[in-house]
């Protein structure tokens, strides 16, 4: 009976067999295009807002940049301010670096000074090639009005002389128009220095075992033991220090190399630092003293480090890196070192520059005054 009735079934009638057959065909059609949600999502998907959000097109994943992506060399070199330098300044920079061998800090300062003059002249439609002394005087006067001190003005005059001298050598000028400029008289100020007690407190401030403390101790010891400039300190490399002989090979101003003896305490602090450096940074910058990321420390970073250590030591004296260089020279001379030896260790080209430290030992002056004054 069932077989007979199925043969006479009216098309489109909803028997149990036809319903199941249609459902099977529907599943077959949609299974390849429809993605079935997980069981946990099917329960509340019909009415939830999160379900609607989940059906949106996924956002493209952010591409994470590497920590040290190579920086392509710009086609138009720029200064520290980010502005493109004139071609004349770029040639001047190469001349100072390659032919005169000046330090990067001095080259940057000279380029900035010369660039400011060229911009100042361009604003006033002055041809710098035919500038008279009065033009330079007007520029320097405005620089002074902006708050530039005597030492910065003297450096600016040196930069202008060097720039126009280079232009004359290259045949672009018949003579150097800045040749007759005279630097202002600089005030003769006595450099400050730390006492023996304050120097000892500062050197003892980084007393921890962390990487920052061990590195800080080594850097302070080298500044005080060798009288280095901060640029010389952060520019040291592991091969610059001869541990066996106790010498430090220092590259000073004007690419002048000198050998400075290192105190045993400084070498011991450096050995402790090198152990942490090698364990922390497998492949790193070639410089000796590195920051947390394995890159060379900057002058500003060390200045902040020094101030923090000064606060830990409880010192009231404002600290700056050159203060330890002054302290080194003063303590060496007051301890009996001869002036010529201290000059060599400091890297001074002129003995009169070192001679200023002979006036800083106030205790020796008081003793001489008490001994030789008629009233005792």
The closest of 160, 155, 112 to 135, measured between CA atoms, is: 160
Mark the ranges of the chain whose per-residue pLDDT is less than 70: 1-84, 283-284, 360-365, 369, 376
pLDDT tens-place string over residues 142-172:
999 998 888 899 999 999 999 999 999 998 8
pLDDT tens-place string over residues 212-263:
999 999 999 999 999 999 989 999 999 999 999 999 999 887 778 899 999 9
CB within 8 Å of 80: residues ≥ 6 apart: 108, 112
Assess whether 359 carries a catalytic annotation.
no
pTM of the predicted protein model: 0.59
Assess whether 331 carries a catalytic annotation.
no
| Parts of the chain belonging to CATH 1.10.443.10 | 196-370
Structure confidence at residue 82 (pLDDT):
53
Assess whether 357 carries a catalytic annotation.
yes
Query: How far is it, in rounded angstroms, from Cα 219 to Cα 183?
Result: 36
Sign of CA dihedral 150, 155, 160, 165: positive
- Burial (0-12, 13-18, 19+ Cβ within 10 Å), 125: exposed
Structure confidence at residue 99 (pLDDT):
84
Q: Which of 22, 133, 280, 322 is flagged as catalytic?
A: 322
Structure confidence at residue 19 (pLDDT):
44
Structure confidence at residue 94 (pLDDT):
92
Q: What is the CA radius of gyration of the chain?
A: 37
Structure confidence at residue 47 (pLDDT):
43
Q: Determine the 3-state secondary structure of 177 from DSSP.
A: coil
Structure confidence at residue 101 (pLDDT):
79
Q: Which of 95, 166, 273, 357 is flagged as catalytic?
A: 357
Assess whether 229 carries a catalytic annotation.
yes
Structure confidence at residue 351 (pLDDT):
81
Quickly name the fold that domain 196-370 has. hpI Integrase; Chain A (1.10.443)
Assess whether 27 carries a catalytic annotation.
no
| Parts of the chain belonging to CATH 1.10.150.130 | 87-169
Structure confidence at residue 362 (pLDDT):
66
Assess whether 185 carries a catalytic annotation.
no
Q: Which of 100, 201, 348, 359 is flagged as catalytic?
A: 348
Query: How far is it, in rounded angstroms, from Cα 342 to Cα 149?
Result: 29
Decide: 97 and 107 in contact? Cβ < 8 Å.
yes
Structure confidence at residue 4 (pLDDT):
44
Write the DSSP symbol of residue 97. Answer: I
Q: What architecture does CATH give domain 87-169? A: Orthogonal Bundle (1.10)
Sign of CA dihedral 254, 260, 266, 270: positive
Q: Determine the 3-state secondary structure of 230 from DSSP.
A: helix
Structure confidence at residue 74 (pLDDT):
41
Query: How far is it, in rounded angstroms, from Cα 68 to Cα 282?
Result: 15
Q: Quote the crossing angle between the two packed helices 87-94 and 150-169, to the nearest 10°.
A: 90
Sign of CA dihedral 266, 271, 275, 277: positive
Structure confidence at residue 353 (pLDDT):
79
Query: How far is it, in rounded angstroms, from Cα 82 to Cα 68?
Result: 21
Query: How far is it, in rounded angstroms, from Cα 234 to Cα 240?
Result: 12
Write the DSSP symbol of residue 281. Answer: -
Decide: 346 and 354 in contact? Cβ < 8 Å.
yes
Compute the half-sphere exposure of residue 235: CA atoms within 13 Å on the CB side of its CA: 15
Query: How far is it, in rounded angstroms, from Cα 52 to Cα 245?
Result: 74
Q: Which of 229, 277, 326, 331 is flagged as catalytic?
A: 229
Torsion angles phi and psi, residue 290, rounded to 5: -120, 155
Q: Which of 253, 258, 296, 299 is flagged as catalytic?
A: 253
Structure confidence at residue 374 (pLDDT):
77
Helix H or strand E encompassing 258: strand 257-261
Q: Which of 85, 277, 325, 331 is flagged as catalytic?
A: 325
Structure confidence at residue 63 (pLDDT):
53
């Amino acid at each position: 009976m069932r077989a007979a009735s199925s043969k006479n079934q009216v098309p489109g009638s909803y028997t149990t067999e036809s319903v199941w057959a249609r459902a099977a065909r529907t599943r077959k059609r949609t299974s390849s295009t429809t993605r079935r949600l997980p069981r946990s999502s099917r329960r509340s998907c019909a009415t939830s807002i999160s379900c609607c959000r989940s059906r949106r097109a996924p956002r493209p994943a952010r591409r994470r940049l590497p920590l040290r992506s190579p920086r392509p060399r710009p086609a138009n070199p720029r200064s520290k301010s980010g502005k493109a330098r004139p071609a004349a300044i770029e040639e001047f920079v190469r001349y100072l670096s390659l032919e005169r061998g000046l330090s990067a800090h001095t080259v940057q300062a000279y380029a900035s000074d010369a660039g400011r003059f060229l911009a100042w002249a361009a604003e006033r439609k002055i041809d710098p090639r035919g500038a008279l002394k009065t033009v330079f005087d007007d520029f320097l006067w405005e620089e002074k009005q902006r708050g530039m001190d005597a030492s910065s003005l003297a450096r600016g005059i040196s930069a202008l002389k060097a720039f126009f001298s280079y232009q004359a050598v290259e045949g672009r000028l018949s003579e150097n128009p800045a040749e007759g400029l005279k630097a202002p008289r600089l005030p003769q100020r006595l450099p400050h220095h730390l006492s023996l007690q304050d120097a000892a407190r500062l050197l003892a401030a980084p007393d921890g075992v962390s990487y920052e403390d061990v590195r800080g101790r080594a850097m302070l010891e080298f500044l005080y033991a060798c009288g280095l400039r901060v640029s010389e300190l952060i520019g040291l490399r592991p091969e610059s220090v001869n541990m066996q002989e106790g010498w430090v090979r220092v590259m000073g101003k004007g690419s002048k190399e000198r050998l400075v003896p290192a105190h045993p305490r400084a070498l011991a602090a450096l050995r402790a630092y090198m152990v942490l450096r090698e364990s922390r940074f497998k492949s790193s910058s070639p410089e000796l003293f590195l920051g947390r990321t394995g890159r060379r420390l900057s002058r500003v970073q060390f200045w902040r480090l020094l101030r923090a250590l000064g606060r830990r030591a409880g010192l009231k004296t404002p600290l700056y890196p050159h203060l330890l260089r002054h302290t080194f020279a003063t303590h060496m001379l007051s301890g009996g070192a001869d002036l010529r030896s201290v000059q060599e260790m400091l890297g001074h080209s002129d003995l009169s520059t070192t001679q200023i430290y002979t006036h800083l030992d106030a205790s020796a002056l008081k003793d001489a005054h008490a001994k030789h004054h008629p009233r005792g």
